[in-house]
Structure 1
Amino acid sequence: MSDVAADAVIEAPETVATYLRLRGLTPSAKNWKRKRRITVDDDNAPFTPGRDPGTLGDVLDRLSRDAGWETTLAREDLVRQWADLAGADTAKHSEPVSLERGLLTVKCDSTAWAKNLQFMRATILTEIGRRYPEAGVENLRFIGPDVPSWKWGPRVVPGRGPRDTYG
């Protein structure tokens, strides 16, 4: 062997040098050394921390938070889950109709249901605050059914008029 080949054998690991010597080859410095991985400080480089795929739920949560949709989505969930929130029997006779400036307005089938829900107001408001804090509900208002008005129109008669609860 020449001096260059002998130097290459000395630098190679013993197992690699033995293998190459038995095959009649000389180790070259480029073939047996392991390549160093280049470290990049770029956030988009593969195999860097934080590049593992996340769950779809985590991605959607981050998207809704970054886009500022949390309040809107919480309000929509409140309306969709009204039956779970207020109870199945109560939800049959009531539905949320508007949410403006922290006031949730709930329309009821009758004035009796509106009054009963008024008694349950604190419980419902506490449950809304616990489940949907991002919705921003601060107060509740329960209204009865829409009734015709006898106070305006072409055939108005002064006086008390009909007295009916309409529900």
Structure 2
Amino acid sequence: MDKVWPTAHRGPAANPAAAPRGADLAREALRAARAAAAGRAAGSGGRTHSVTGRGRRRRRWSGPGPDDRDPQPFGRLVSRVAMDRGWSPRLTDATVLGRWPQLVGPDIADHCTPISLRDAELTLQAESTAWATQLRTLQRQLLARLAAAVGPDIVRRIRVVGPAGPSWRRGPRHIRGRGPRDTYG
């Protein structure tokens, strides 16, 4: 006695007329792709981006004018990314600190070091007290140079710090006080 299997277990090989083949399979796939594209066009407010069709005609080349698809200089792309992500204040701080010799000149840069730039206040450390005094007198000229090079409101004040005195602390144990200087008389 032959067993009769239900049609769900037979698969397409059991009923060859039910499964699409060859050209029928290709027509079915094309019909599904057209239906999906029509659904996307209806969801975008009726705008189509095809070159041939009812909607706007999209250019395939950038033409003689500038376009976003044109090759861009690397510096412009980096500055655009920095603006989009909010990195610009940090980059201008790094510009002032990194390009210090070019901004103020080699004479001044040899005798002072920029320490920090916070809230538009640039902190400089001079190599001697004489240079600290000299930098305080040149403060207006330095502010003018920096404003011309990096922008008017990047650096508004300059604080000059003299050299640090020697530390007399040696080792893990020490006694509070002036150190060896108090025995000099």
Verify same fold: TM over 0.5: yes
Instruction: Tell me which residue corresponds to 1:145.
Output: 163
Q: Distance in 2 between matches of 1:155 and 1:67?
A: 49
Letter of the 1:101 partner, please give it: D
On the 8 A contact 1:71/1:134 being kept in 2, the answer is: no
Secondary structure in 2 matching 1:99: strand
In structure 1, the gaps of 5 or more residues are: 1-35, 163-167
CA deviations on 1:41-76 (whole Å, 9 max, x unpaired) are 599x85365332322222122111111122111111
Q: Distance in 1 between matches of 2:57 and 2:124?
A: 52
**Could you say what the CA RMSD is over the residues aligned between the two structures, in angstroms?**
3.2
Matched, 1:154 2:180: no
- Picking from 59, 78, 82, the partner of 2:77 is 59
Alignment of 1:84-163 (within 5 A): 84-133=102-151, 136-148=154-166, 154=175, 156=177
Instruction: Tell me which residue corresponds to 2:87.
Output: 69
Question: Which TM-score applies when normalising by structure 1?
Answer: 0.60
TM-fit CA distance, 1:92 = 1.1
Among the aligned pairs, what percent are the same residue?
29
Structure 2 CA distance for partners of 1:57 and 1:100, relative to 1, 3 Å: closer
Q: Distance in 2 between matches of 1:101 and 1:123?
A: 20
**Aligned residues, how many?**
122
Question: Which TM-score applies when normalising by structure 2?
Answer: 0.55
On the 8 A contact 1:102/1:139 being kept in 2, the answer is: yes
